[in-house]
Structure 1
């Protein structure tokens, strides 16, 4: 890996000094590694990197891989990395502050919820008796029923499933605190079947294990691959075909049932109601009610 020492020190700083969650550390490590690999391929040195080199990264690599929103997120990731690199003398001072991200407006985009019938199709698709199907069904149900984030599913441990009391304890990544849910029947059955019948006999606390060797816990990116592969196989169309689409589907379904923004945001682990506001834009039934109002001749 190019600039491996700088990258490993960055990871250690995120983990030990910033105390970021494993999922966040993994994501930021991945983004920084992509950038450093591009630098190596372009014959650039981190120590002599110039603002125009970063512009070139966004104009060449970024334009082929990112939306405008993704480019803004990437700019935020790189600012953090470059500020750290500057603090240890690995790059020139002020490089991070020279970056300008694209403007983004609050609630500018629609959430990418799947129709609930498509979610049912996805769950039914994982109805086989082999290890892969049994595992994937439990994962999909956790994402769709509770609206969990992919990192929360990947980190789920066996001791967080309380069969005796019918409870599921989730460590919320954004709130940094546990949250207890009732263990609903379909999810309970899927989890118990995987743990008791299909899960390999490994001495690890995490529930979900890789199908192939090495038999280690699956990662958050692997959760994305599982959902994305199955959605594409079903021929479903959506702006984003991954775990977050199931989280949005969960929220949209709760909204359609008449729950308030707070009642939706709490189980989703949102810290503020603003994070839940985006789902109001797909409540088509309520929008139709507004459209049907008699305005008494007002223009």
Structure 2
């Protein structure tokens, strides 16, 4: 089996068996293609994965750094190479000597950037009503769709992809004590309670779609298919510029805001982890840094000895 064939089989395993996200499979595919191309030149011909040594991988990372790749990119590429070689070790008995003592760049996780409660409410309530004066006004259904989508992201803490994957049958109904079943990363499912305001926003949107079938996408694009993430991101980008909101006012910032505002209100970190669908509590703990930063900012503004 050639190195290229091994790469193809690993990516197929990653998608089918590990159920990795499509974006992850695509990124790892690019990273491994870069790696194998580098090895072809580095080894002077045919790539022999069994002959790899730690120095070969370090040389690859050094070449990527010289090419301008940042820490995050190199860390992801090393993760792709590690996963690939470990898979080969399990399935083909490939020696793992190349991974011995190998350490990647250490990354400090970025602190999530949340909106203020007022800014988040403004997005949810106004994103479907403020438009570019040089363009035609949004159709009523599209405006209601944007309001419902952003209400769902902030009110339930969903990832944009999770919300866009919902069908009409999944929609919580107004007047019901509803919880939403969400499929997150790795196919993990979780139940998320839905606030009455979110249920009302979704109901207002669906009233403009009479006859919508249960199997149809909940959020439709202009051509009748499932709404594309890039369109939702562009919609909020346009709104934030017209409304004077900060540049980090994105769909994902609404999810960050959900977690940050719950934590500030005294919610338990474990409960927030479950609501967000994080596999590890350490991922959720990033929001404590946001809360601490807000407290420090308040202290600096208010304390007479802060200077």
Answer yes or no: same fold by TM over 0.5.
Answer: yes
Deviation at 1:233, TM superposition (A): 5.4
CA distance in 1, matches of 2:220, 2:103: 41
Q: Are residue 275 (structure 1) and residue 287 (structure 2) matched?
A: no
String of CA shifts for 1:246-283, please: whole Å, max 9, x gaps: 11111221122222323433322334543332222233
Aligned counterpart, 1:145: 155
Question: Distance between the aligned counterparts of 1:26 and 1:264, measured in 2?
Answer: 26
* Larger gyration radius, structure 1 or structure 2: 2
1:30 to 10, 26, 33: 26
Whether contact under 8 Å (1:80, 1:96) holds in the other structure is: no
The equivalent of 1:132 in structure 2 is 142
Task: Quote the offset at 1:83 in angstroms.
Answer: 4.8
Q: Match for 2:273 among 265, 277, 296? A: 265
Mapped partners of 2:204, 2:111: distance in 1:
36
- Measured in 2, the distance between the counterparts of 1:211 and 1:139 equals 15
Structure 1 window deviating more from structure 2 (154-163 vs 29-38): it is 29-38
- Which residue in 2 is equivalent to 1:13? 13
Q: Match for residue 181 of structure 2?
A: 170
1:21-61 CA distances to partner (integer Å, 9 max, x unpaired)?
A: xxx43121221344367679989689639633453234425
1:80, 1:244 → 2: CA distance?
A: 28
1:207 to 218, 223, 244: 218
Structure 2 counterpart of 1:111: 112
Q: Secondary structure at the match of 2:69?
A: helix
In terms of mean alpha carbon deviation, does 183-192 or 265-274 score higher? 265-274
1:252 aligns with 2:254: no
2:127/2:146 contact within 8 Å kept: no
Q: Does the aligned pair in 2 maintain the 1:143–1:243 contact within 8 Å? A: yes
Match in the other structure for 2:134: none
CA contact (8 A) 1:113 1:252 kept: yes
The residue that corresponds to 2:62 in the other structure is 55
- 1:102–1:243 CA distance, 2 compared to 1 (3 A): farther
- After superposition, the Cα gap between the structure-2 partners of 1:48 and 1:37, relative to the gap in structure 1 and judged at 3 Å, is closer
Give the conservation status (yes or no) of the 8 Å contact 1:152–1:170.
no
In the TM superposition, residue 114 of structure 1 has moved relative to its aligned partner by 1.6
TM-align CA RMSD: 4.2
Alignment gaps of 5+ in structure 2: 49-55, 130-137
Residue 102 of structure 1: aligned partner = 105
Q: Who is 1:76 aligned against?
A: 79
Unaligned stretches of 5+ in structure 1? 294-299
Q: CA deviation at 1:194?
A: 2.8
Shift in Å at residue 245 of structure 1?
A: 1.6
**Match of 2:191?**
179
Q: Which residue of 1 aligns with 2:133?
A: none
Kindly tell me: are residues 135 and 74 of structure 1, through their superposed partners in 2, closer, same or farther at Cα, counting changes over 3 Å? farther
Give me the TM-score of the superposition, normalised by structure 1.
0.69
* Alignment CA distance shift 1:131-1:72 (3 Å): farther
